[in-house]
Homo-oligomer: A and B are copies of this chain.
Amino acid sequence: MGPLDAHYCFTAYKLNRSFARFYQTVFADTGLTYPKYVILNVLAEDGALAISQLSERAGVENNTLSPLLKRMADFGVIARERDPEDERRVVITLTPMGRSALKAARAAVANGFAELGLDPEEVKRSIVYMGHAQAKLEKASPRKLTMAALLGQSD
């Protein structure tokens, strides 16, 4: 499938959507989704976070998080409060319900994941490799393709 980078990005693209579908299947009958599950995990790890911090940890822009967090708050798994020390900030915390929901979700997912029969060592190496690529991609400032180059018949 063409050059290595295209192959790599395409593989990442498909893996991510396979994960999304897998989680979607597990969560289908609940209000939970894949991105919401990610957010719950980050919150469980790091406790109370402002939206900007959560944005950075999850690698999602805050304008994506704002409506997502609103839906999660409506659902009851998180709480949103203005930081009294800095009224610009909105601090997000897991509710007790959010904590128990995450526990149940993790159990359900771990169950389905175990049945895949993946080699844990390979998964760990895979995570390391993906992390390398992700870190480099995140720091990169590639040159932009111009419209002229895109349409040029020169080669």
**A interface residues (Cβ-Cβ under 8 A, vs B):** 1-19, 21-23, 25-30, 32, 34-35, 37-38, 41-42, 44-45, 59-60, 97, 100-101, 103-106, 108-113, 115-118, 120, 122-127, 129-134, 136-138, 140-147, 149-153, 155
Contact = CB atoms under 8 A, between A and B. Distances in A.
Contacts of A19: 8-9, 12-13, 137
27 contacts: A1-B42, A2-B106, A3-B106, A3-B113, A8-B19, A8-B127, A9-B19, A9-B23, A9-B38, A12-B12, A12-B15, A13-B34, A13-B35, A15-B134, A15-B137, A17-B59, A17-B60, A21-B137, A26-B145, A32-B150, A104-B152, A105-B145, A112-B143, A113-B142, A116-B133, A116-B136, A126-B130
Given A2-B45, A18-B138, 15 more contacts: A2-B44, A3-B106, A5-B113, A11-B131, A12-B12, A15-B16, A26-B142, A29-B147, A32-B145, A101-B150, A104-B150, A108-B149, A116-B137, A117-B136, A130-B130
